[in-house]
Structure 1
Amino acid sequence: MRGVKRFGVREKLSPRYIGPFEVLERVGAVAYRLALPPKLAGVHDVFHVSNLRKYVHDSEHVMFYDPPDLQEDLSYEEFPAMIIAREVRKLRNREIPYVKIRSTDHDDREATWELEETMKVHYPHLFEEMC
């Protein structure tokens, strides 16, 4: 399940939103230029309004932004953090065990079902915690 994720490409376990970032200006009718940090210097700074979410300010809400370690090709590595559920799917002649995996920097809503056998081979430490 460990994989390399590209910024902006919708893949399994890719983050939906990062930020918040300051809006510098409106570009056209439906696009905005954002003030991105130096770590995202290779990313185009103009985004369509459908890719943005409004931030509702709350004086008690403190935002900690810890950007992923982006590599030169704007990709980053992700690792499974823990198993949050198990399930056995039954077919006609066999049963296939699955585990629900939560990845690093993601919450339970973005967890995915993976084959238990594959996860045991690649990440045995996750199953040691369950015993």
Structure 2
Amino acid sequence: MEGDHVWLRVSPMKGVMRFEKKDKLSPRFIGPFEILSRVGEVAYKLALTPSLSTVHPVFHVSMLHKYIKDESHVLSLDSVELGSDLTFEEEPIAILDRQVRKLRTKEIV
């Protein structure tokens, strides 16, 4: 399996928008990354990009998803700032729509 490529799972944070998409549409994996070596029974060392230098390069197989190469597949590398625990957070830029909910005795914006 050395030399193959895999996707790396990023931990979802409930209620946080990722890449301006909410919940189901937000990306769960980043990559692909090349496998450098096998470490133990169920762990692999990956060749991470310099932007992920703060993250330890050895991951359990449950954090990886096999990448099947396709010549027509074009990857765009977005700059994702991950924490040391593989979490990231994005905040909305602007509020596009406002609604007023009417309850029995009050109104909520």
Aligning the two structures, in what range does the TM-score lie when normalised by the shorter sequence? 0.5 to 0.7
Q: Please say which of residues 23-32 and 61-70 is displaced more in the overlay.
A: 61-70
Using a 3 Å threshold, how does the CA distance of structure 1 residues 31 and 74 change in structure 2: closer, same or farther?
Answer: closer
For residues 86 and 67 of structure 2, the distance between their equivalents in structure 1, rounded to whole angstroms, comes to 25
For residues 73 and 54 of structure 1, the distance between their equivalents in structure 2, rounded to whole angstroms, comes to 21
Equivalenced residue count is 80
Q: TM-score, normalised by structure 2?
A: 0.58
| Percent of residue pairs bearing the same amino acid type | 52
Structure 2 residue aligned with 1:11: 13
Structure 2 residue aligned with 1:127: 97
2:42 matches 1:52? no
Q: TM-score, normalised by structure 1?
A: 0.50
Structure 2 residue aligned with 1:112: none
The structure richer in helix per residue is: 1
Deviation at 1:75, TM superposition (A): 6.4
Structure 2 residue aligned with 1:67: 79
Using a 3 Å threshold, how does the CA distance of structure 1 residues 71 and 127 change in structure 2: closer, same or farther?
Answer: same
Unaligned runs of 5+ in 2: 1-9, 19-26, 99-109
Structure 2 residue aligned with 1:25: 37
Tell me which stretches of 4 or more aligned residues in structure 1 moved more than 3 Å. Answer: 69-77
Unaligned runs of 5+ in 1: 1-7, 82-122
Work out which structure has the larger RCO, using CA pairs closer than 8 Å and 6 or more positions apart in sequence.
2
